[in-house]
Amino acid sequence: MRLQIKDPVFFAKGHRGHLYKGTYKGRSVVVKTTNPRSKAIGRISNECNWIKKLNKKGIGPKLIACEKDEMMYEYVPGEFIEDYCKRSGKKEILRIIKDVFEQCFVMDSMGVDKEEMHNPYKHVICKRGKKPVMLDFERCHHTLKPKNVTQFCQYIVSSKLTYILADKGIKFNPEQILGLAKDYKKDMSRNNLGLILKQIH
């Protein structure tokens, strides 16, 4: 690795990147390197560029350094969103859902599409009392028609999450959510976002 960290330990492997956990200047960090088997070109460089911009909006893990095919960011402790919801109460889950929607709205307002928000199981880290942190911005890009909020609506009404939320006493009508998502797609306003959030209670 070009980005040197203390006591590096292999952390996780994805389709396009390998993650190593260690310490840097006393902080727990993660270094992401290109998966040598990946055919994707420039993904980590793209991710670095976007996280720099999104960090200014309070989105994403705190970026520390970038190299050609490597990046370093602060380690984010917590659980993946579904696992967290399974063991959390209604009030906390609603807080997490609202915050993720807010972050999606900010990205939509910037004309930024993160991709994969329809199934962000490993892309949102949650911890009690903390703001949920989104990960993995390799496929992030500019677009005139961002779909972060609408994709997250699809995730909320998916069968696996609906079951978890219902078990916690969280109610909503999937058809109404999807209908409001279509309205939001036509007019990406805070008012239309609010109408979506009101349906989840």
Is the pLDDT reported for residue 151 higher than 80?
yes
Q: Is residue 1 part of a domain?
A: no
Q: Where are the alpha helices (DSSP H) in 29-187?
A: 43-55, 81-86, 90-109, 148-156, 159-167, 174-186
Residues 179, 90: one domain? yes
- Please identify, among 46, 74, 102, the residue that sits at the C-terminal boundary of a domain: 74
Cα dihedral 55, 56, 59, 63, rounded to 10, equals: 10
Last residue of a domain, one of 18, 48, 74: 74
Mark which of 74, 102, 125 sits at the end of a domain.
74
> What pLDDT, on the 0 to 100 scale, is given for residue 15?
63
Could you give the number of structural domains in the chain? 2
Same domain, 110 and 191: yes
Residues spanned by the domain of 183: 79-198
* 88 shares a domain with 56: no
Q: Are residues 32 and 117 in the same domain?
A: no
> Based on the domain organization, do 151 and 177 belong to the same domain?
yes
Mean pLDDT value across residues 46-69: 95
- Note whether 54 and 111 are within 8 A (CB): no
- pTM passes above 0.85: yes
